[in-house]
Structure 1
Amino acid sequence: MRGRRTTPRQAIALTLMAVASASILAACDRQVETTKSSPRPVRTTTIEKRESLMPLTFTGRIEAEDEVSVAFRISGRLLANEARLGDRVEAGQLLAQLEPQNELSTLRQAKAALSAAQGQLTQARNHYERQETLLAQGWTTRASFEAATQARQTAQSQVEAAEAQLSSAHDLVSFTELRADAPGKITATGPSAGEVVQAGQMIARIARQDGRDAIFDVPAQMVRSAPADVQVTVSLTDDPKITARGRIRQIAAQADPVTRTFEVKVGLTEPPAAMRLGATVNGRVETSSGPVIDIPATALTRINQQPAVWVVDPSTNVVSARNVDILRFDQAQVIVSQGLDAGEIVVTAGVQALHPGQKVRVLGSEP
């Protein structure tokens, strides 16, 4: 079977196509060689170790620096309770009162006993004076005079005992009234009128007007690592612009049996009026975590399913990948715990287009 003959025109067209294809392939090879040989521009930063301040934040509440629970010294039925939550009280102001019938009866009995003792003392004194005169005149015996003296002393002792009982009865009557011992604000109230209360039972709790504390529950590790004289910045949770400063005033000697945290009291310096008792606040403390290495967040990439960075060899400008351990990070900065040393150069821009052994051209270093 005879093949088909190629005409001169077709031969010329095939030759031109072959020449064009060869030119295109040569141009592509030149472009690939140029791409492989030209360093990729990147931005870098030089690693430095810096002193880092690690902020610690806790949530707590505002309480009075000096808060006391007031109670009756005796038991009885509550006649009235004038204490109202949130009320301001002055020193000596009446807060509550017990029914005083029994105490008033005791007072009347003590007064009557004193009157009787005073009458007996008067009689004993008169008898003593008569015996003293008769003894001087020789009309009585020494024994009668000594008996009169003894009776006078006994009557005097009975009067003194009756006076003590009367004073105790007055105290019992006064104990039926509960008064504030200092100005402040009532933060809690107890039983209502008509209830029977026991001695020492809380009737009201008064926050005295001599300071404010911010109370926080802090883990034991933070208590041990906190500096001796640390300053705490306290701000309202619902309005962080309202702040106050303070220092740790007291740390609980024993941990809470449930949470295993320690109660820390921070004494506030001139707290604003908006920091009312019971308000929820945040406390912020900055503690030194020692020298750390920080890099821009743009330098971080992921290789072998682990965080990594590109390190530049300053002698050859060739990059190599290195896995690192991250301590903490945010949107702008990454704190590296292991994997980098001071003085090394790390790529911060262009990390996604690099491969191991690639040569780069440094455009500029970031501070």
Structure 2
Amino acid sequence: MQAERTDSARSHCLAVSALIVMSLALCACGEEDAKAPPAPVRPVRTMTVAPQPPASALAFTGHIAAQDRVDLSFRIGGRVVAREAGVGAPVRENDVIARLDPANELNDLRAARAALAAAEGHLREAEGRYLRQSQLLARGVISRADFEAAEQGRLSARSQVAAAQARVASAEDIVGFTTLKADAPGVVTRVGAEPGEVVAPGRMIVQLARRDGRDAVFEAPADVVRALHAGDAATVSLAGQPGVTAQGRVREISPQADPVTRTFTVRVGLSDPPPALRLGAAVSVRTGDDGEAAIQIPATALTRRKDKGMEAGVWVVDPAASTVSLRQVEVVAADPAMAQIGKGLAPGDIIVTAGAHVLREGQQVRLGGAETP
């Protein structure tokens, strides 16, 4: 009995000791938390937001060209005997443009037709022989080998007829190649051969500007072409008649500069151009407009916090308290160097441009330098 009381007392003492130790540990942790140092003052680079002057419209001088141009040529060589269309002539689809001398091609066609007639005669003879041999075989007059030879002769004659028919079709196609036709309506802008010349296959006979589109074409230097983008709106005016205009969009910017002028060719596709804007007409092209003042900041100032549903934001400095706060902004346009802000910033705001990735809300900062906008 005395031993049981002694063990109970020992257990009670151990429990009390454990509670005391845990209390002391909790107190120590609380003291450590209370003594935790505040967030360090971060050195950052800043800039003061200022509006940029509005971008002015760009003006160029160019000319009207066809959106699609095609060089029409013969698929075979020969001597040109006629050219029906000259420079400036309007043509319709399937109109005859030029003709070659078809004498040799017609001779080949006649020879192919003659070979076909001979092959058809051999086929009729083979068909008759096969019919007779089949009847004789049924009566037991001839051997099976004689019948199979007649059957093989009929199959061979049929193959010869098929080959002759293919040669006739090919010869007819070649005769058709001696006539050059327009594949679409348009206007002839260049000619490359005259009647009497011997031309090779693929040589340009006429150049056709199709009627399905017009482009305003101009040259732009390298420092200006960087401001142009495919899809930019443009206004095209006829030189000498500024009232004759057409609207369009930049359709193509040459990826390579001209080796002589070092300029880039830009093509503006026109929508519903008036008849006065003829091919080759001199025009003035105006891209962009005199927009409003914009706010531009370095791209390094942008911070994305998708965990808070913020696509883009910047850290704004409170100059009185030297603290920062994250503000959401609307990015209108951006490139690897600069970003154009539509909403969220006002002239005079101080924003962080370097060191933004280590900041927290309300953290104190030390301004280490300022950038010019």
Fold match, TM over 0.5?
yes
In structure 2, what residue type is equivalent to 1:166? V
In structure 2, what residue type is equivalent to 1:117? A
Report the CA distance between 1:176 and its aligned residue. Answer: 0.8
- Which residue does 1:108 correspond to in 2? 110
**Counterpart mapping for 1:74-85 below 5 A:** 74-85=76-87
Greater Cα radius of gyration, structure 1 or 2? 1
Residue of structure 2 aligned with 1:71, choices 70, 73, 93 = 73
Percent of residue pairs bearing the same amino acid type: 51
Alpha-carbon distance in structure 2 between the residues aligned to 1:254 and 1:154? 60
Point out where structure 2 has 5 or more consecutive residues left out of the alignment: 1-49, 296-346, 349-373
In structure 2, what residue type is equivalent to 1:62? I
Report the CA distance between 1:291 and its aligned residue. Answer: 4.8
Question: Residues 141 and 235 from structure 1, CA distance in 2 versus in 1: closer, same or farther, beyond 3 angstroms?
Answer: same
- Which residue does 1:98 correspond to in 2? 100
**Counterpart mapping for 1:326-337 below 5 A:** none
Report the CA distance between 1:195 and its aligned residue. Answer: 0.5
Alpha-carbon distance in structure 2 between the residues aligned to 1:260 and 1:289? 32
SS in 1 for 2:236: strand
**Counterpart mapping for 1:1-367 below 5 A:** 49=51, 51-286=53-288, 291=294
Under a length normalisation based on structure 2, what TM-score does the superposition of the two structures give?
Answer: 0.62
**8 Å Cα contact 2:230-2:251 kept in structure 1:** no
In structure 1, what residue type is equivalent to 2:95? Q
SS in 1 for 2:54: strand
**8 Å Cα contact 2:234-2:247 kept in structure 1:** yes
SS in 2 for 1:115: helix
**8 Å Cα contact 1:80-1:98 kept in structure 2:** yes
Alpha-carbon distance in structure 1 between the residues aligned to 2:84 and 2:284? 35
Residues 152-187 of structure 1 show CA distances to partners (whole Å, capped at 9, x for unaligned) of 111111111111110111111111111111111111
Alpha-carbon distance in structure 2 between the residues aligned to 1:95 and 1:227? 39
SS in 2 for 1:91: coil
In structure 2, what residue type is equivalent to 1:181? D
Residues 211-246 of structure 1 show CA distances to partners (whole Å, capped at 9, x for unaligned) of 111112223333333245310111112222211110
In structure 1, what residue type is equivalent to 2:142? T
Alpha-carbon distance in structure 2 between the residues aligned to 1:142 and 1:219? 87
**8 Å Cα contact 2:234-2:286 kept in structure 1:** yes
Alpha-carbon distance in structure 1 between the residues aligned to 2:79 and 2:122? 38
In structure 2, what residue type is equivalent to 1:177? T
What is the aligned residue count?
Answer: 247
Alpha-carbon distance in structure 2 between the residues aligned to 1:182 and 1:267? 20
**8 Å Cα contact 1:191-1:203 kept in structure 2:** yes
**8 Å Cα contact 2:82-2:100 kept in structure 1:** yes
Alpha-carbon distance in structure 1 between the residues aligned to 2:52 and 2:267? 32
Alpha-carbon distance in structure 1 between the residues aligned to 2:158 and 2:240? 71
* Off by >6 Å, runs of 4+ in structure 1: none
Alpha-carbon distance in structure 1 between the residues aligned to 2:53 and 2:139? 106
Report the CA distance between 1:53 and its aligned residue. Answer: 2.8
Report the CA distance between 1:114 and its aligned residue. Answer: 0.4
Report the CA distance between 1:188 and its aligned residue. Answer: 1.1
- Which residue does 1:355 correspond to in 2? none
Residues 55-76 of structure 1 show CA distances to partners (whole Å, capped at 9, x for unaligned) of 2111211111122111111000
Question: Residues 227 and 254 from structure 1, CA distance in 2 versus in 1: closer, same or farther, beyond 3 angstroms?
Answer: closer
**8 Å Cα contact 2:63-2:218 kept in structure 1:** yes
- Which residue does 2:356 correspond to in 1? none
SS in 2 for 1:109: helix
**8 Å Cα contact 1:54-1:289 kept in structure 2:** no
Alpha-carbon distance in structure 1 between the residues aligned to 2:118 and 2:255? 57
Under a length normalisation based on structure 1, what TM-score does the superposition of the two structures give?
Answer: 0.63
Alpha-carbon distance in structure 2 between the residues aligned to 1:247 and 1:149? 71
Residues 33-91 of structure 1 show CA distances to partners (whole Å, capped at 9, x for unaligned) of xxxxxxxxxxxxxxx95651312111211111122111111000010111111111111
Residues 225-277 of structure 1 show CA distances to partners (whole Å, capped at 9, x for unaligned) of 32453101111122222111100112223332222322221110111111000
SS in 1 for 2:190: strand
Alpha-carbon distance in structure 1 between the residues aligned to 2:293 and 2:231? 18
**8 Å Cα contact 2:98-2:181 kept in structure 1:** yes
